Chain A
Amino acid sequence: MGSYLRYLSENSTELIFYAQQHFLLVGYSVGLASVISLALALVLHTNQLTPPSWRRSLRVGGRETSLLLASAALTIPSLALFGILQPLLGLGVTPSIVALTLYGIYPVLRNTLAGLSSVDPAVLEAARGVGMGPVRRMLRVQLPLAWPVIMSGIRVAVLIVISIAVVAAIINGPGFGKPLQDGLARLGAVNSFNEVITGTLGCLVVAAGYEIVFVVVRRLTTPRGLRV
């Protein structure tokens, strides 16, 4: 225990740097995943370009297809995905973010679609009846009402991506993956076990950081009428 604390204090600069990297890596990936999922869901719901008779089938078809693809992406073993992306995108940050974004899409997309379709049809009919167009209806009514559900999807994505992010170390990605993998590779050597513990605990610290962020964001963005 004492030696571990000494290890922490001796390497504190490096560890704080890992924590920052890990936090940002997760933030960028989930952020990108959220933007992609939201854009996809909004386009499917507010689409006015196609003939009216297509819209329903296009929306349902688009929803099922995108969910299928996103869930397929989530099932690819993370080790393999990083390996596959390496020849295409090289090493380092870019392929790490791309891979983690792919993993983040499914939970966000799933909750976004569920949240949007859980809005009371009577409320949407009233919105139509008072003369709101599809875009206004989405931005003023449907999206605010679905927001708490979408937020919880983003939160799940963050938790998943935090733990998968350590695998990014195999392609020289940033974050706590590096001490973890270093430690595992030289298990038995000096400080190797401390590195493994640090990588693991580091993920928990990052997760705790995000929990705080979510409490604040939820407080600020949930419409008052929806707070229980």
Chain B
Amino acid sequence: MEPTNDQDPNYYHKVVDCQWACPAHTNVPGYIRMIAQGRFDDAYMLNRESNVFPGILGRTCDRPCEPACRRDRVDGQPVAICRLKRVASDLKGDISERLPVIPTEKNGKRIACIGSGPSALTVANDLLPLGYEVVMFEQFAKPGGLMRTNIPEFRLPDHVLEDETQVILDMGVEVRYNTPITSLRSLLGEGFDAIFVGVGAPRGKELDIPGRHDEADSHIFIGIDWLESVAFGHVTSIGSRVLIIGVGNTAMDCCRSSRRLGGTDIKVMARRPREYFKASPWELEDAEEEGVEIIVNHAPKRFVIEDGKLVGMEFEVLEWDPGARQSTVLNSVIIPCDDVILAIGQENAFPWIERDLGMEFGDWDMPVVDEATMQSTLSGVFFGGDAAWGPKNIIWAVAHGHQAAISIHNLCSDVDLNERPPQGMNLVSQKMGMSEWSYHNDYNPSPRQKMSHVELTKRFESLDLEVELGFSLEQTVHEVQRCLNCDVETAFNAPACIECDACIDICPVQCLTITSNGDEADLRARLSAPATNLDQDLYVSAPLPQTGRVMVKDENVCVHCGLCAERCPTAAWDMDLFDLQIPYAASANFIRIGAMSPSGANRGN
């Protein structure tokens, strides 16, 4: 193999599994160390830089970081990253002085944001400090988009949502509430320099089976619409027996909300076996803890209406082949119910975009959006969040917002949209002395801490009682120490190595080998411990001075304990803090004049 280019920010970025997996590339180990040091404000601000809504995401994020976490491969339980994010948010003090300063003199550019959800708020957050004027069009009377309408208050309290949206609105957004956009043409006529579409995926999927549109349809609801009505207080009760069709996260919010609005016998009906559920495992757990029954292998067949009244639903009971591709119908059953909520997915709908404006639409009547620039084929009109490519999640919406803001800034500065500011990195030695590091390098065997919940007896008293209590300080102290500091990198300097084997002997996970070079498959088989996780890179050094062999490191389960560097007599190994420099619209100007490391020509992945 060729020697690894560790000057490419992507190499070490990939070692920080959580940061690599996060769409917004939040510096997770960095903020966890700050929490460990009691620096909650700093931890919050570091989060805010990339993910903008630490308090909201600390409760609602889909957590792509956690399945990626190295700790999961070490002891089977990832660090509770999301919960720690919430700790930073819960314990922070007043951070208002640390927010970006908004220039009183504007740059003369006006941007329209359609929607006030996470992607549009991120665009505003990134552009306002540069002197842009942002006008936000919101169909409802309150901001937040699906964060407000689709996530129940018992998961995301109003004050948290309020805090983090208001911080951005207070930067000087002009919000026009109760103003749904009904025509893109007329908006284009208003002379904005750019338009950002962040309207989400607002249309819940229908289930067109017999009985759906009969006289009883007032007891059949579309999940996201129903949640929205609950959020705005238009719906305050539901029948005692409720069936939820579908088993995604919306279904979980629907069943748990039903439980709080009068439902006592709630069944979530799934077509496929449990391992194919779309809902996050922790949301399934929470629902089941609240007495919701989840029934697998039942496909809806018809609504049963008697005397103009919904009395139940008929399902086909399925048996699936291994892999759950083919099913056979065993029989059918009727399950009685008072209400049915359909939560089988949602899709985009753009009835307000005239099709003669020159905007290209592709598959499923979706606008064609450039994956790097977020621009549609109509110059100056950008998409982000669920509006861009269908339902994803909040953290993706934030990531889209950052990229769209860079594009809008490029557009307004007459820079080619494809000229993306590069990522950079800083690598700084953490050595404080002999066998002394600026980070806590010992492996802590603590198990993952469990979130405590409000007692079941009290939980259903009101819709807005937050169920998760957050980590206690004691839990926090244990959980932060579980982080393996994957951003403190084992940096190797081949010319200094005398091949004494000290690092290889001391490594607690046998991830180091000095051997003759070979191709990757060959090397992977010849290491101290075979490198079988192909998702994890091998580090390969330049030829070593004494024998011409190479140092190979399998990054897979390195616990970043620094013992290799402590036992190295020549300091060929060092522990270097990797700090990914992520470009944002506000940093784009100075990046372009060459302040970045020349190596980082790659955009985030």
Indicate whether A and B interact. Answer: no
Q: Could you tell me which A residues sit within 8 Å of B by CB distance?
A: none
Chain B positions near chain A (C-beta within 8 angstroms): none
